[in-house]
Amino acid sequence: MKNLSLDDFALFVQIAALQSLSAVARQRNVAASHVSRALSRIEEACDLRLAHRTTHNLSLTDEGEVFLEYAQHMVEEHRQLQASLGSRSKAVSGTVHISVSQLLAQYVLTSRFAALRALHPDLHINLHIDDRMVSMAHEGIDIAVRAGIPPADTLIARSLGRHGRALYAAPNYLRKHGTPRTPADLASHSLIGNTAVPAHNRWDFLVDGVRTVMDVRGQICVNSSAAVVSLALAGAGIARINDVVGWDLVQEGRLKSVLARYGVPGEYEIYAAILAGRHRAPKIRATMDYLQTCFAAFIHAAPVRDTKKGGAPA
């Protein structure tokens, strides 16, 4: 394995994670041919075929799987060294790779990162916007912000608190169609369904202290939580939306809360997750602390817990 650089190992890990040369090229902002030539050069250096390539798919050979383990080890060792050296300096600098869902990116975080950069001018933020659960170690993610259960390879997760989901609609929709007074009134309204997460179409209410559930078949359905919000903002109907997002849009006057008196207390956790060994780096600590402030207005934060030591995700 002569003449292989650390970036070669990192590139191979990225190829294995995305299983697509074009996807790697897009992430790196280079031509797909550049990635293909780099993979060929890595194979020549090893004198082994490491991947099966077809027009649309890429998979690792047995030798490629062995090389992947070694490459992951090399990349992680380098990151651990950077974190260790970085922790000796109080300066906050470097690049932080943050994975976040499209919903939280579009409506909560992107507008707030300018303030983080103002606090730490030498800090660079690289947002990876994706609704899927990423493999943090394989894809070079430093922090993953998600609602739900932390990924399997996460060792440390800081809870940003709990939130609920509630009903919202645009002011112009409510002026035109009226505001429902009880859950039964929803039968005469246009409802927006979320096919990305079927559970989001089970709308729950507290009626006289008793929890009831309504299975919703929306007149408009879409497989994206962010698109659900966009449809609500456009006046397409009433939608069930994450309170972290909905609360902000209500403050801006773009949405109004619907049936708030029948709302169910928050029960979904939002967390910021990192891999063990990286939490001491100043850039990670500063970013994690700032994320906490972003959500503090909406939810009550819980202490850091170590899932490796038995902490159960909510």
pLDDT tens digits, 131-178: 877 777 778 888 988 877 665 555 688 888 777 889 999 999 999 999
Q: What is the pLDDT of residue 94?
A: 86
Check pLDDT > 50 for residue 303: no
d(CA 136, CA 81): 18
| Fold (topology level) of 6-84 | Arc Repressor Mutant, subunit A (1.10.10)
d(CA 47, CA 4): 12
Q: What is the pLDDT of residue 188?
A: 94
SS3 percent helix, strand, coil of the chain, rounded to 5, is 45, 25, 30
Mean pLDDT of the region 109-135: 84
Check pLDDT > 60 for residue 16: yes
Residue 24, classified by CB atoms within 10 Å of its CB into exposed (0-12), middle (13-18) or buried (19+), is buried
Helix axes 6-18, 21-28, angle to 10 degrees: 120
Q: Give which of 156, 147, 169, 152 is closest to 295, Cα–Cα.
A: 147
Q: Do the domains 165-262 and 91-161+268-309 match in fold?
A: yes
Q: Is the overall model pTM greater than 0.85, yes or no?
A: no
Q: Give which of 153, 239, 159 is closest to 195, Cα–Cα.
A: 239
Task: Return the CATH class of domain 91-161+268-309.
Answer: alpha beta
Mean pLDDT of the region 13-18: 89
**Least confident span in 45-49, 94-98, 118-122, 132-136:** 132-136
Structure-derived torsion over alpha carbons of residues 125, 129, 134, 135, reported in degrees to the nearest 10 = -30
Candidate ranges 5-9, 58-62, 147-151, 291-295; pick with highest mean pLDDT: 58-62
Q: What is the pLDDT of residue 305?
A: 32
| Fold (topology level) of 165-262 | D-Maltodextrin-Binding Protein; domain 2 (3.40.190)
* 310 confidence band (pLDDT: 50, 70, 90): very low
Domain segments of the chain as ranges: 6-84, 91-161+268-309, 165-262
